Structure 1
Amino acid sequence: MAARQLDSGTVTTLVAEATAAPSMHNAQPWRFRLLPDEALLLLYADLRRAMHRSDPGHRALHIGCGAALFNLRVAAAHAGLAPEVRLLPDPADPLLLAAVHFAEPATDDDELRRLHPAISRRHTSRYPFTEREVPEDVRAALRAAAAREGAELLFPGRWHTETVLELVRDAEGRETLDPVTREDLTRWTRLGPEADVATDGVPEYAFGPHRRDGKAPLRDFAGRRPVADRGAADFERNPQLALLSTRGDTPADWLLAGQALERVLLEATSAGLATSLTSHPLESPDLRLLARDPVAGSGHVQMVLRLGYGPGGLASPRRPVHEVLDIT
């Protein structure tokens, strides 16, 4: 397919929608560089925004960048472009995560275009969900979405769910007691007046309510720090979790996992579901291994998703495009 010349307005829109993707602690660890003569957009990892304590191998960083890459693909399809993606195109430059060439599409990608409205509607919800079960046809659609990107989405049974919830609580206990472990969380949370002007991180207005019974199936970003006017609530008794896994556990697999994650999240949003993510039981190698399916015992768990019906979350802040895009 022939390359299409890109104007700065189109590229700005594409990158703005790409960066609506979720990332660990909303650190937004990506940079983009446009080569207009080649109709090529390069995606780089930004190690200045890495979690050196909780993500030393940059697995979560790659997942966040993979999610942004999937949003870019959706935005491009919506704009009538065919994105041709090469992952890790330069072995000599591991920070170059993807090269995206834009061409005039021979046919429209209706499946990607269908997900476009969900980009602006998808937000992490740290609020209680109802006890209403996600129907099997919706679960099947989410499993298919993950499979399209080369990943697997597992809805664990009751025993496995309880195990994962115990891992969440174990991880949070470690984080609460260890000041070194808390460094990344403290760095990327925004409290008080800082929350009102933040362009990254998790602001206090997005923390959600405090769990009244001391248990909730997600990370409490406040920790032991007081947050003004933060209410308390009872969370669902039977959280509906899903585990996203890949066969391998390399940087390429992490980028695939990120794309699969965002495809699942956009599909869930389109189906009227609220979603949240929890990664902290996967940040310790010993806990991450225990999150694996105890029956199959294969694959590498890359993310724990919480799905259900309830209030949508508030939008987390985003950096302006000019801070993440270079046009050369």
Structure 2
Amino acid sequence: MSAASVPGPEAVSSWVADAVLAPSMHNAQPWLFRYDRIQGVLTLLLDASRTMPRTDPAARGLHVGCGAALFNLRVAAAAAGWEARVSVRPAGFAPELLAAVTFAPATGDAAGDGLAELHPAIARRHTSRAPFSERPVPGELLDRLRQAALAEGGALDVADDWRGHTLTDLAWDAEQEEKLSPEALEEIAHWTSERARDAPEGIPAYARGPRRHGGRALVREFPGAEAAGGAGEGADPGTAVFEWSPCLAVLGTRRDEPADWVRAGQAMERVLLRATLDGLSTSLNSQALEHPDLRWLLRDPLSGAAYPQMLIRLGYGPEAPATPRRPVSEVLVVD
């Protein structure tokens, strides 16, 4: 294979730098990349050191995060004039290998898939844990987000007011179960305690947002962090009133195998980047999804997506802070 037909290590490194800006459960950043510069093959692997046996025992949530990173990679390559050709969980390989990616100069067909136009949103997209305004999200924007999910094999079901109440109640039930589990609290504290302030992963106090004392928005309060004394002096974000009529959506897939979790992450990230370009703030909530008995109840019985993979909150809010990221040198190996 000629050198001209494969991207160089510098290009791939820059694409991985965009990939790692994806969201992941508790900002654990569960991805590793390996690039074979001769064959031009980039592999995406699950970093087993970042699994969460209590709250994510099957690593479903971490697969979703890796899928989001994979989508960012595709967008970055497209913006540079390359088409990323992805094989999700290739047969015959170890289970930690989530995808193999090859690259080719983009043709007219590849240029029409809308990926490159999403590139400016990668650096701008941040999970917002602040209150949003009560301004409704226009229907035409929601339709674009539904199409974004569909383009990646997912389905985005936007909840009506009645369904929204059900979703918030399920998240509240999950929160109560969480508070009664010392193991879950310890795992959460590992990723959200104040030691993460200077670490390249986890959710530091400045990014957690205020606690809710009014409203019905889905807002995770990370009780394990407080239990560990993680707030720190002067770090308490206080309380706030959130939306009473939040715009909530469930992202789902038709099947529920590990490959579907990776695809769900790609669909989720396409929705988030599209929302960012359209001026929306977003936040993610997987709390109820971490409990099998509650996860099934998240499903809209009228939806074609049988398996919920993520709860997404959409709206208009203040600019959110960025959370830390591991350097590319730590997650990418070039052979």
Report the TM-score when normalising by structure 1.
0.95
Task: Please tell me whether residue 109 in structure 1 is matched to residue 97 in structure 2.
Answer: no
Give identity over the alignment, percent: 52
Q: Which runs of 4+ in 1 moved over 6 A?
A: none
Worse-superposed segment, 221-230 or 172-181: 221-230
| Post-superposition offset of 1:297 | 7.8
Q: C-alpha separation between the residues in 1 aligned to 2:277 and 2:30?
A: 26
Tell me the C-alpha RMSD between the 2 structures: 1.8
2:138 counterpart (131, 135, 139)? 135
| Paired residue type of 2:131 | P
Instruction: Specify every segment of 5 or more residues in structure 2 that has no aligned partner in the other structure, as ranges.
Output: none
Gap change, CA 1:298 and 1:144, over 3 Å in 2: closer
Partner of 2:92: 91
1:297-312 aligned within 5 A: 299-312=306-319
Aligned length: 326
> Match of 1:202, SS?
coil
Partner of 1:50: 51
Partner of 2:282: 275
1:222-264: CA deviation from partner (whole Å, max 9, x where unpaired): 5544623422211111111000010000011111100000000
**C-alpha contact 2:216 2:246 (8 A) present in aligned 1:** no
Partner of 2:249: 242
1:176 counterpart (155, 173, 179)? 179
Q: C-alpha separation between the residues in 2 aligned to 1:164 and 1:123?
A: 22
Partner of 2:160: 157
**C-alpha contact 1:53 1:183 (8 A) present in aligned 2:** no
| Paired residue type of 1:84 | R
| Paired residue type of 1:78 | A
Partner of 2:37: 36
| Post-superposition offset of 1:195 | 3.8
Gap change, CA 1:13 and 1:297, over 3 Å in 2: closer
Task: Please tell me whether residue 121 in structure 1 is matched to residue 117 in structure 2.
Answer: no
**C-alpha contact 1:195 1:205 (8 A) present in aligned 2:** no
Gap change, CA 1:297 and 1:84, over 3 Å in 2: closer
Instruction: Specify every segment of 5 or more residues in structure 1 that has no aligned partner in the other structure, as ranges.
Output: none
Report the TM-score when normalising by structure 2.
0.93
| Post-superposition offset of 1:190 | 3.4
Q: C-alpha separation between the residues in 2 aligned to 1:214 and 1:305?
A: 16
Gap change, CA 1:321 and 1:161, over 3 Å in 2: same
**C-alpha contact 1:15 1:72 (8 A) present in aligned 2:** yes
Partner of 2:300: 293
